[in-house]
Amino acid sequence: MSKLALIPLALCMASCAGAPSVPQAPSGLAVTPAVTPTVTPVVSPAPVPARLSGLDLDGFDRSVRPQDDLFRFSSGSWLARTDIPADRSNYGTFTVLEERAQGAVRSLVEAAAADQTRPFGSDAQKVGDFYADFMDVDRIATLGATPLAAEFTRILALRTPRDVFAYMGHGQRIGVPHPLMLYVGQDARDSTAYIASVYQSGLTMPDRDYYLSPAARNVALRADFQRYASRLLALAGEKSPAAAAQRIAALEGRLANHHWTKVENRDPVRTYNKVSLAEAARLAPGFDWVAFLEGAGPAAAKVAVLDVNQPTYVKELARLVRATPVADWRLYFKFRLLDAHAQYLAPDFEAERFAFRERALRGVQQPQPRWRLGLQALDGALGEVVGRLYVERNFSPAARTSILELVDNLSRAFGQSIDELEWMSPATKAEARRKLARFSVKIGHPTRWRDYSALEVRRGDLMGNVLRAHSFEHERQLAKLGRPLDRDEWLMTPQTVNAYYNPPMNEIVFPAAILQKPFFDPEADPAVNYGAIGGVIGHEISHGFDDQGRQYDGDGNLRDWWTFDDSARFRQLAGRLVAQYESYPVIDGRKINGQLTLGENIGDLSGLTVAYRAYRLSLGGAEAPVIDGFTGPQRFFLGWAQVWRRKYRDDELRMRLVTDPHSPSEFRCNAVVANMSEFQEAFGLKAGDRLYRAPADRVKIW
């Protein structure tokens, strides 16, 4: 999958870095409870059931003025009475939908596991046996680390740098993220063709900053990391685990020192470096590409052209492989193998993994129920088989039709917005219009389901099933090379609560599980639907025109279709948005990284702006009625606000400020609407209101 293969609405919405567990009003958006809130116009709430509007009025906090803090006005009571479950790092609307989808999937999967009549090789057999084996904790406990014995033997046999390069390639086949990862995606300069690409990886902690930053918390986490590595190795029988862990931590630190930053990796031009193997050898002297690709399997060994995403990193990796004792690489590979597969081993391994990856890094208090972990594992191994079962019972053709109608309205509104832009020239507008016209839309689920017939699942062989599933997916990806582009492929399963834009495909995709209340309710007021799912649709359309997506044309090719002056004006507007978000303190004085979050912030702002235009178009010039005491425009913004209900643990929020391209939920609400004149008018904002921003200071890009 290309690093830019999908730009999701909320890759971390449902698991996003957390804010404080008890939300605090940030500087500049503080709540003043002593001020009596007013909503303009002031209308006494009518005795109309909330379902007519689609607003969850019980979650509102009427002591907060929406003009000061829309996020807490719409969600303050919910925030006050909602505790983050002990097994979660954050909790909100997306989590609720995720739990709803998981509950539906669980009943289907458990029925398959209990069915003794399913024939071997059938989809039901594969799903049922994979899940049943994962749930058989007593049997797993008796096996210790022995399911990985063959891999341990393979690692112990490594003797030379060439062996190290080959095993690095082998890691692709067994689901272990080694220092260089191989994937297949569309060629960014020729979107009709697939290309094999390599991308930096290999770090256990979330980002290079965790290894390099002198901050006290990062220093403490580095010590936690060493203890974690030592304990996993000790459980696997390593004779000197503490010394081994120290060597592993030092090696990962050297890798981190050469990793590109997340902001650098957002540049699709810098990260596109298409070369032949001979050119790759000159790019990274000493890197044994032949050994690496042979290790990745017969199909990979035939690769003759590569897209090297981070050339300087690969150059330094080649040097590191040859400068580091092979014995250190053996320890590193063993640890990475254990870390990647700890949840499929005896409970002690999973307990150590939880203690570091969930409790230390994210502040989670207790593990999730085993069945939830089982569904997550199943989603990775047989996701579309499960997805087909899910949509048969949980998604209707009528829902698809309704969403397509909304998409059509949003596209029409986006086109009008392009036409009315004052900062863009006619030549660039024509190209933008062409790109918009070539968008494709996928709703609910694939039209052609993935074929898993080549994947064997054996009862009583959990680790074997896991490794075979990784190998199956690896070979499926490599088999794309040289074949026509598969435009029917989905990059998310239907049971995923998310959405995405795929630049090389120029497509927007909405899985079935996100098309539920409160995002979309066919019985709800259109204003709320346009604010919620309409904002989601607009967000994904806008990704085609954010700072990354705008660099791809209507055919999905990385091509500069902008005039020089228009590009400069876009960058100036984007720079203002960066500055705005970097002014918001979040936790411990830390602020949002405006460059890292720029694409998502543009998606939110432009998407909601276009969704509002589409809502007004849907009214055909009529005024919406007042429902639940709110006008139509007010309900639109409240519909957007209530989908961002979320609470976070402090550690989760700290992690996401470094790693997450999305802003914390509070700012996906307040920071967006503060830029919109439509919001200012809907709620009658004036100078002195905390969300008021003078017209000259409001950013509008699309």
Mention every residue, 6+ apart, whose C-beta is less than 8 A from residue 321: 161, 164, 165, 286, 287, 329
17: confidence class by pLDDT, cuts 50, 70, 90: very low
Planar angle of CA 190, 562, 546, nearest 5 degrees: 80
- Beta-bridge partners for 501: 7, 508
C-beta separation of 119 from 125 below 8 A:
yes
> CB neighbours (10 Å) of residue 475?
16
Q: Exposed, middle or buried by CB within 10 Å (0-12, 13-18, 19+), for 649?
A: buried
**How high is the pLDDT of residue 404?**
93
Q: What is the mean pLDDT of residues 560-583?
A: 98
**Residue 661 structure tokens:** 């391209």
| DSSP label of 16 | P
Q: What is d(CA 341, CA 467) in angstroms, rounded to the nearest whole number?
A: 9
For every residue of 75-112, DSSP letters joined together read HHHHHHHPPPPTT-SEEEHHHHHHHHHHHHHHHHHHHH
Task: Say if residue 366's pLDDT is above 70.
Answer: yes
Question: Mean pLDDT, to the nearest integer, of 39-58?
Answer: 56
Long-range interactions of 351-354: CB distance < 8 A, separation 24+: 352/228, 352/231, 352/232, 352/235, 353/228, 353/232
How much is the average pLDDT of 662-679? Answer: 98
Q: Say what the pLDDT of residue 43 is.
A: 34
DSSP assignment, residue 552?
B
| Nearest CA among 550, 679, 659, 658 for reference residue 605 | 679
Q: Write down the residue that tokens 């057999």 correspond to.
A: 125
Q: pLDDT tens digits, residue range 171-217? A: 999 999 999 999 999 999 999 999 999 999 999 999 999 999 999 99
| pLDDT band of 550, cuts 50, 70, 90 | very high
Residues whose CB is less than 8 angstroms from the CB of residue 238 and which lie 6 or more positions away in sequence, other chains included:
244, 331, 334
Q: How confident is the model over 256-313, as pLDDT tens digits? A: 999 999 999 999 999 999 999 999 999 999 999 999 999 999 999 999 999 999 999 9
- Give the whole-number percent of the chain exceeding pLDDT 90: 91
pLDDT at 238 over 90: yes
Residue 611 has pLDDT above 80, yes or no: yes
| Residue 252 to residue 261: CA distance in whole angstroms | 15
Q: Is the pLDDT of residue 12 over 60?
A: no
Q: Read off the pLDDT of each residue in 111-137 and give the average, rounded to a whole number.
A: 95
365: which DSSP letter? -
Q: What is the mean pLDDT of residues 460-465?
A: 98
Ramachandran angles phi, psi of 485, nearest 5° = -65, 135
Reported as a pLDDT band with limits 50, 70 and 90, residue 694 is very high
- DSSP 8-state class, residue 173: G
pLDDT band at 477; cut points 50, 70, 90: very high
The Cα 97–Cα 432 span in angstroms is 34
The pLDDT, as a whole number, for residue 30 is 28
pLDDT averaged over the chain? 92
Closest CA to 99 of 85, 80, 113: 85
Q: For 130-163, what is each residue's pLDDT tens digit?
A: 999 999 999 999 999 999 999 999 999 999 999 9
DSSP H/E element including 186: strand 180-187
Distance of CA 292 to the CA centre of its chain: 28
Summarize the chain as % helix, strand, coil (round to 5): 55, 10, 40
Prior bond of 41 cis (ω within 30°): yes
Helix (H) or strand (E) holding 465: helix 462-478
Cβ-count burial 582-615 (b if 16+ within 10 Å, e if not): eebebbeeeebbbbbbbbbbbbbbbbbbbbbbbb
Fill in the amino acid letter for 91.
Y
pLDDT digits (tens, 9 = 90+) for 61-81: 999 999 999 999 999 999 999
Between CA 88 and CA 216 the distance in angstroms is: 25
- The burial of 43, by beta-carbon neighbours within 10 Å (0-12 exposed, 13-18 middle, 19 or more buried), is given as middle
Helix (H) or strand (E) segment spanning residue 306: strand 305-308
Quote the pLDDT of residue 140: 98
> Backbone dihedral region of 684: left (phi > 0), alpha (psi from -120 to 50 degrees) or beta?
left
57 pLDDT exceeds 90?
yes
H or E segment and range at residue 510: strand 507-511
Q: Rounded mean pLDDT of 511-526? A: 94
Which tokens in the block code for residue 176? 């272990």
Using the predicted structure, report yes or no on whether residue 562 has a pLDDT greater than 70.
Answer: yes
pLDDT of residue 52: 79
**Over residues 503-518, mean pLDDT:** 96
Q: How many residues does the chain have?
A: 702
Residue 251 pLDDT greater than 70, yes or no: yes
| Sheet strands side by side (includes 7-8) | 7-8, 500-502, 507-511, 440-444
Helix ranges restricted to H, 259-304: 277-283, 289-295, 298-301
Determine the pLDDT at residue 14. Answer: 31
pLDDT for residue 168 is more than 80 = yes
CA distance 518 to 483: 41
647 has which bridge partners? Answer: 91
Tell me the domain boundaries of the chain: 7-21+53-85+397-445+486-697
Looking at the chain, the number of H-run helices and the number of E-run strands are: 27, 12
> Does the domain formed by 7-21+53-85+397-445+486-697 have CATH 3.40.390.10?
yes
**Using CA atoms, how far apart are residues 71 and 67, in angstroms rounded to an integer?**
10
- The mean pLDDT of 238-266, rounded to a whole number, is 98
Which residues on adjacent β-strands are paired with residue 276? 305
